[in-house]
Structure 1
């Protein structure tokens, strides 16, 4: 992942790995609960959206920068 102007550029492998990670997490949650995988996906999506809206612009930048550092190791 890298910053290019005001855009985040992520290679396909990193994007797919992150997507698979979220899907696997939802599968595991569904296997250990009474909720279906699509319910977990919606719940987690809603929670992420809620947290994003609560973050300040500085918190968002800090999170992006921390992810950038991790992804370049």
Structure 2
């Protein structure tokens, strides 16, 4: 059985290199997003990105759909 790999929708933000271009497994991607993009320093930028950048929004939507997860609305203050 082939291992499905996913690409980080936030590649290029917060110093993200998307698993060096090879993508990440589902569990690794969830950990990666939590640790790199939703840490104390990066969270405000990442929360704003899908709301203000259509490319980031669409990348997040496609990645999460492929993973079988939902993209929920984010309230930006």
Relative to the length of structure 2, the TM-score reads 0.31
Question: Which has the larger Rg?
Answer: 1
- Judging by fraction of residues, say which structure has more strand: 1
- Judging by fraction of residues, say which structure has more helix: 1
